[in-house]
């Protein structure tokens, strides 16, 4: 009977290791990050190089993915725009996860009235539409790169805080925490060296999912004209600029940028979900 138990446990471990979705999504994410880092160098043309004689051309030997209404190479703009399209969401995720983790751990550790107050604050933040925060941020800071970064960072904080708080509450109830308190270890040391170390896989999974979602939201804010402004090469801007071209029979700019957004969002969401499932199974 013991041998069968070991075999079943071993088989379960093998199944957890052999996760095709995890491998495929991680590969896609790494490739996308690599494009964001070196895409500008790989672009065959300058992303803002205008050639009116080649305007709205379809895919061909000189322009593999065609050109936009100004004759700019779509492939070059998509490659160069990856850096800007990733930079905003990365800052959003870093800011929201760091602040959300601090709020979640503090609420879980102290509990009581502080936990209730923070929960009410998070509920209020949940109720505020993200686009409204983006409009306010644009009014205060002006349309551009930083307006959606600040707005979406605030919008994403409660999502990270709620998840981290739930995990931190479970850790708070573990016997080792009580033992460390009896030994005279400070609350700051317990949380930074032990609680956070035990919940960091969940933080990584949440950040991975958040990056894909933030990229979609960041592009959406640029699409409606409150974020990155033309002629900057950014995927949301490209989708917006390509709307008029679709009616003229040249949909390549919107299609290419839209496909980049979809592939990125799906890849990071799947990777985050698989990481969360894997870390959960490991625990």
- Taking residues 182-201, report their average pLDDT: 89
Helix, strand or coil, per DSSP, at residue 262: helix
Quote the pLDDT of residue 277. 85
pLDDT at residue 13, as a whole number: 55
- Short-list 133, 191, 221, 121, CA closest to 161: 121
Residue 6 has pLDDT above 50, yes or no: no
Q: Which residue in this structure is represented by tokens 């065959």?
A: 44
Q: What's the distance, Cα to Cα, between the start and end of the chain in Å?
A: 24
pTM, two decimals, is 0.88
DSSP string computed for 109-142: HH-HHHHHHHHHHHHHHHHS-HHHHHHHHHHHH-
Tell whether the model's pLDDT for residue 282 goes beyond 60. Answer: no
Share of the chain above pLDDT 70, in %: 92
Considering the chain, what is the average pLDDT of its residues?
88
What confidence tens digit (pLDDT) does each residue in 22-53 have? Answer: 999 999 999 999 999 999 999 999 999 999 88
Q: What sections of 43-173 are H helices per DSSP?
A: 74-110, 112-127, 130-141, 146-172
| Rounded CA separation 222/188 (Å) | 40
What pLDDT shows up at residue 281?
A: 53
Residue 108 burial by CB count (10 A; 0-12/13-18/19+): exposed, middle or buried?
A: buried
The burial of 173, by beta-carbon neighbours within 10 Å (0-12 exposed, 13-18 middle, 19 or more buried), is given as: exposed
pLDDT of residue 11: 39
Share of the chain above pLDDT 90, in %: 59
Which span out of 10-24, 84-98, 243-257 was modeled with the highest average pLDDT? 84-98
Q: How confident is the model at residue 10 (pLDDT cuts 50, 70, 90)?
A: very low
Alpha-carbon distance of 283 to 281, in angstroms, equals 5
* Residue ranges of domains in the chain, CATH in brackets: 82-282 (1.10.3720.10)
Q: Which residues contact 68 (CB under 8 A, 6 or more apart)?
A: 55, 56, 74, 77, 238, 241, 242, 245, 250, 252, 253
The helix-helix angle for 146-172 and 74-110 (nearest 10°) equals 40
Query: pLDDT tens digit string along 131-166?
Result: 788 888 888 888 899 999 999 999 999 999 999 999
């Amino acid at each position: 009977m013991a041998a069968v138990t070991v075999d079943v446990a071993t088989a379960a471990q093998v199944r957890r290791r052999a996760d095709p979705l995890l491998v495929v999504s991680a590969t896609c994410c790494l490739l996308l990050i690599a494009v964001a880092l070196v895409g500008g160098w790989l672009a065959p043309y300058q992303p803002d190089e205008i050639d009116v004689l080649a305007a709205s051309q379809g895919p061909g030997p000189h322009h593999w993915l065609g050109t936009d209404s100004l004759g700019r190479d779509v492939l070059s703009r998509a490659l160069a725009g990856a850096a800007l399209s990733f930079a905003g969401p990365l800052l959003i995720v870093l800011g929201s996860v760091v602040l959300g983790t601090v709020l979640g751990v503090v609420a879980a550790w102290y509990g009581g009235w502080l936990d209730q107050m923070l929960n009410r604050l998070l509920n209020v933040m949940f109720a505020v539409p993200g686009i409204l925060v983006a409009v306010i941020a644009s009014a205060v800071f002006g349309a551009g790169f930083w307006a959606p970064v600040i707005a979406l960072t605030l919008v994403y904080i409660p999502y990270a805080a709620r998840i981290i708080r739930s995990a931190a509450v479970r850790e708070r109830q573990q016997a080792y925490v009580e033992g460390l308190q009896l030994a005279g270890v400070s609350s700051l040391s317990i949380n930074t060296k032990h609680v956070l170390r035990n919940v960091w896989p969940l933080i990584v999974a949440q950040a991975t999912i958040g990056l894909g979602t933030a990229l979609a939201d960041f592009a959406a804010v640029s699409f409606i004209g409150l974020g990155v402004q033309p002629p900057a090469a950014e995927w949301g801007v490209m989708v917006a600029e390509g709307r008029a071209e679709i009616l003229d029979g040249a949909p390549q700019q919107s299609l290419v940028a839209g496909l980049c957004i979809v592939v990125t969002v799906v890849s990071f969401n799947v990777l985050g979900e698989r990481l969360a499932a894997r870390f959960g199974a490991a625990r």
